[in-house]
Amino acid sequence: MPSIRAARPRWLELVLLAFPILLLAVGLTTIELARGDAPDSTDQAQVAALAIALFAVHCWLTLRYPSADQVVLPAASMLAALSMVMVARLEPDLAMRQALWVGVGSAALLGTLVILPGVSWLRQYRYTWAALGLALVLSTFVFGIDPNDSGARLWLGFGGVHFQPSEVLKILLVVFFAAYLDDYRELLTLSSVRVGPLSLPPLPYLTPLLLMLALALGLVVMQRDLGAALLLFGLFLAMLFVATGRITYVAGSLAIFVLGADLLYRLFSVVKIRVETWQDPWATASTTGYQLVQGLTALAAGGVFGAGLTYGYPEYVPAVHTDFMIAAIGEELGLVGSLGVVGLYVVLVHRGLRIAIQTGDSFATLLAAGLTSVVGIQALVILGGTLKLIPLTGVTLPLLSYGGSSVLANYVLLGLLLAVSAEPKRQVNAA
Amino acid sequence: MFELTAEAMILLLRLALVALLYLFLGAVALMASRELRRLARSGSAVSPAVPRARLIVVDPGATSLRPGEMLPLRPVTRLGRSEENTIILDDTFVSAEHAVIVQRDGTWWLSDRGSTNGTALNERQVHGEVGLAPGDVVAIGDVRLKMAV
């Protein structure tokens, strides 16, 4: 248990946290200068807000969790700072709101660390979390709204604030999968049913897991939230592999995925349109392929070094401040900037998996690996979609996209990851 | 007098933004490589603590055990129906003192203690002492236990 005594300074974190604050200051100043505006007091407010939020989290970690990972927070903050710069560039009216969300997110991160009585507390309520996640998604069927005409009612709204339950579902599912797989991992690695040359996994023990996955996938697919479906399935595969270490499970699940994708392609016109758009966006460049074509054009226009902040025309790309953020970054900061963003995700995933390996408890390992997979897979799904490497499915770019529920969910996720990293480490063999 | 034009200033700021991004990545990479080198020098990678041998309940039979439950192995682990055993198997097909697993020379050895219904290792009846390897399945009555370290 963390305790307040002889706080060990977290110098590395403190030094690294200077980068996102400087980045935000430099980015906002560039925008002001390029626009020819007088220096705006909201700029200083934003920089101050970020600095205060980060410093508060840093202090709390130093006091209560001195052994927590020191790179996760700075790396995530770099993405948050870049997000604030890009939102200020693309949607100046939303800039203060995004700054506010980053502040609220940091508070949620702190809240997660303060409230959570220990990582193992989460596993006691595994079915509660699973039920809660499903209930939230189910409620969008009844109360769902579509505030930005995306064609899918994925949001819940109260008091002018919109909230996307699938963002919460992913975290709750990680907790459920981690608890369930940890309970049954030994049984899952044991093949008990043999059918001819195939050894099937012990099906009775897999059923609750598969049922849960099927329910979650069914719900998000019924809502046409294909990005979330892809993310949840990828998450399931990653966690199953981490728990069992069996490549046959992954191969089997991929085969099921191919069959399922084929079925969806036949059943839903949305899927068919997405695949056709992916194969040839230029054929429908003015209708269904419009977003993808505009995104690719923006990226091409940026070249290696980019046009520079405010010198490009990313406003032609639909949803550029949310799902298509990388198109704007590619156009104005160039390949150099986009690769830097990919580098930040690599750092986050690397630290996350390191935390997973180092922790002493198998539930915590699965939890950290799952949370890390969420960030990594989500980034891959949307980056791949924007770059026309895979069919485009809409998910937010973790920590970069504008949006309250996305920012909030990702900060809670980071809080959980930091909590795992502060758990007792696995003993290192000295002799 | 040299004065920065707005254009030059913007260019500098653009460079500064990208520089910050890559300096950050460089700093993290440098730290990670230092950490790896330190680990390599100390000659110890992160590895599990002392391997803890255990039996995992595959099939609890009629006992109150739970599938997947882990039963740690002691240097001498007695299995049976009576309360004196290390692992108590409350199943009518299990004898009061059914089997024993002992640790010797870094190996775990299983032997039957003259039980009525016998003990099996990987579906083969156990006579005398047999070595246990991870993944082996011990059958006592209807109970199936898998060895793991």
Across the interface, of B14, B31, B68, the residue whose CB is closest to A187 is B68
Shortest Cα distance, chain A CAs vs residue B126, angstroms? 22
Per-residue pLDDT of A339-356, as tens digits, reads 999 999 999 999 999 999
Tokens 């998996």 locate to A353
**Model confidence band, residue A304 (pLDDT cutoffs 50, 70, 90):** very high
Residue of B10, B12, B14 to mutate for A, most A C-beta atoms under 10 A:
B14
**Spatial separation of the C-alpha atoms in residues A417 and A370, rounded to whole Å:** 10
Q: Would you call B70 and A344 a contact, using CB atoms and an 8 Å cutoff?
A: no
**Model confidence band, residue B49 (pLDDT cutoffs 50, 70, 90):** very low
**Spatial separation of the C-alpha atoms in residues A263 and B120, rounded to whole Å:** 47
Q: Which residues of A touch B148 (CB under 8 A)?
A: 186
**Is residue B51's pLDDT more than 60?**
no
3-state secondary structure of A404: helix
Mean pLDDT within A389-402 = 91
Q: Would you call B16 and A26 a contact, using CB atoms and an 8 Å cutoff?
A: yes
**Is residue A134's pLDDT more than 90?**
no
Q: Which residues of B touch A183 (CB under 8 A)?
A: 68
In a domain, A202, yes or no: yes
Q: Would you call B21 and A23 a contact, using CB atoms and an 8 Å cutoff?
A: yes
**Spatial separation of the C-alpha atoms in residues A371 and A352, rounded to whole Å:** 8
Per-residue pLDDT of A12-22, as tens digits, reads 999 999 999 99
**Spatial separation of the C-alpha atoms in residues B89 and B60, rounded to whole Å:** 9
In a domain, A289, yes or no: yes
**Spatial separation of the C-alpha atoms in residues A81 and A246, rounded to whole Å:** 39
Burial of A138 (0-12, 13-18, 19+ CB in 10 A): middle
Q: Rounded mean pLDDT of chain A?
A: 86
Strand runs labelled E in A122-214: 156-158, 161-163, 193-195, 198-200
The structure's pTM equals 0.80
Radius of gyration of chain A (CA): 22
pLDDT confidence of residue A152: 67
Q: Would you call A205 and B20 a contact, using CB atoms and an 8 Å cutoff?
A: no
In a domain, A399, yes or no: yes
Between B43 and A185, residue with greater pLDDT:
A185
**Spatial separation of the C-alpha atoms in residues B126 and B120, rounded to whole Å:** 5
Shortest Cα distance, chain A CAs vs residue B45, angstroms? 7
pLDDT confidence of residue A365: 92
Question: Which tokens in the block code for residue A181?
Answer: 């797989």
**Spatial separation of the C-alpha atoms in residues B44 and B42, rounded to whole Å:** 6
**Is residue A51's pLDDT more than 90?**
yes
Residue of B24, B35, B36 to mutate for A, most A C-beta atoms under 10 A:
B24
* Crossing angle between the packed helical segments A95-115 and A72-90, to the nearest 10 degrees: 160
In a domain, A352, yes or no: yes
pLDDT confidence of residue A239: 93
**Spatial separation of the C-alpha atoms in residues B61 and B66, rounded to whole Å:** 10
Window from A140-149, A315-324, B107-116 with minimum mean pLDDT: A140-149
From residue A129, give the alpha-carbon distance in Å to each of A174, A217, B131. Answer: 10, 16, 43
Per-residue pLDDT of A141-191, as tens digits, reads 777 777 666 666 777 766 566 678 888 889 999 999 999 998 887 777 765
Residue of B10, B20, B147 to mutate for A, most A C-beta atoms under 10 A:
B20
Q: Which residue of A has its CA nearest to B49?
A: A427
Q: Which residues of B touch A360 (CB under 8 A)?
A: 49
**Spatial separation of the C-alpha atoms in residues A140 and A226, rounded to whole Å:** 15
Q: Would you call B68 and A205 a contact, using CB atoms and an 8 Å cutoff?
A: yes
Burial of A406 (0-12, 13-18, 19+ CB in 10 A): buried
- The β-bridge partners of B103 are B108
**Model confidence band, residue A1 (pLDDT cutoffs 50, 70, 90):** very low
Residue of A83, A16, A144, A142 whose CA lies nearest to A333: A83
pLDDT above 90 covers what percent of chain B? Answer: 19
Shortest Cα distance, chain A CAs vs residue B100, angstroms? 23
Shortest Cα distance, chain B CAs vs residue A429, angstroms? 6
**Spatial separation of the C-alpha atoms in residues B62 and B116, rounded to whole Å:** 17
**Is residue A130's pLDDT more than 90?**
no
**CA dihedral over B121, B122, B127, B131, signed as positive or negative:** negative
Highest-scoring range by mean pLDDT, A35-49, A93-107, A199-213: A93-107
Shortest Cα distance, chain A CAs vs residue B58, angstroms? 7
Q: How many residues does chain B have?
A: 149
Q: Would you call B25 and A344 a contact, using CB atoms and an 8 Å cutoff?
A: yes
Residue of A381, A282, A319, A321 whose CA lies nearest to A151: A319
In a domain, A248, yes or no: yes
Question: Which tokens in the block code for residue A314?
Answer: 């990313």
The boundaries of the domain holding residue A314 are: 120-421
Q: Which residues of B touch A (CB under 8 A)?
A: 6, 9-11, 13-14, 16-18, 20-25, 27-28, 31-32, 44, 46-49, 56, 58, 67-68, 70, 146, 148
In a domain, A429, yes or no: no
Q: What are phi and psi of A409, to 5 degrees?
A: -60, -40
Per-residue pLDDT of A194-252, as tens digits, reads 666 666 667 777 787 788 788 878 877 777 788 888 899 999 999 989 988 888 888 88
**Is residue A402's pLDDT more than 50?**
yes
| Number of folded domains that form chain A | 1
Window from A210-219, A309-318, A405-414 with minimum mean pLDDT: A210-219
Per-residue pLDDT of A277-301, as tens digits, reads 999 999 988 888 999 999 999 999 9
**Model confidence band, residue B40 (pLDDT cutoffs 50, 70, 90):** confident
CB B139 within 8 A of CB A183: no
In a domain, A272, yes or no: yes
**Model confidence band, residue A431 (pLDDT cutoffs 50, 70, 90):** very low
Across the interface, of B6, B9, B56, the residue whose CB is closest to A186 is B56
- The β-bridge partners of A163 are A156
**Is residue A6's pLDDT more than 90?**
no
Shortest Cα distance, chain A CAs vs residue B68, angstroms? 6
**Spatial separation of the C-alpha atoms in residues A419 and A424, rounded to whole Å:** 10
In a domain, A49, yes or no: no
